Structure 1
């Protein structure tokens, strides 16, 4: 079975787009980093190591210390699919991240994005 192209994409190639999307709406790189660290359990140093080393999404999520326990509270549409109904576990994790970045860019409060 052929892997989805996004699985082999480097986080470092997508990360600048996350930053740009956030900054266009007055949010910061630190906000993006906070979201990614919250979701994956990485600390900032480990996150930036993966970005610099151009780790692919599959490896990035496989090596993630632990998805946040509130990840199941992330719901809604992303790329035309309900994120909570995506069957492939890796694709779901990637779409969770996309959904959180979208919420950030839409101006949602950080406490709500982080499901506090």
Structure 2
């Protein structure tokens, strides 16, 4: 039987062998703004695993989340990502988010 990898309960990222999520590392603070890689942003915004690293990357691709390249890493501003996440959550487009731990509702 194939075992699925362990995941962080906050951002659903696959945990490394150490068992500590990479999203828990501190964000960079520059000019009173905080910056982080997609995993860090997802970890800071996702309370119940409803924001993932892939969602942050899609916000960059489709919703205009600016990226800042430092070396080979891509950083995003937490305040800008928070604004996009709020607009998505409160918007009327699409279906409501479904979390893994929700039970289906009978129709």
Q: Which TM bucket (shorter chain)?
A: 0.3 to 0.5
Q: Which has the higher contact order (CA 8 A, sep 6+)?
A: 1
The structure that is strand-richer by fraction is 2
Larger radius of gyration: 2
- Give the structure-1-normalised TM-score: 0.30
TM-score normalised by the chain length of structure 2? 0.32
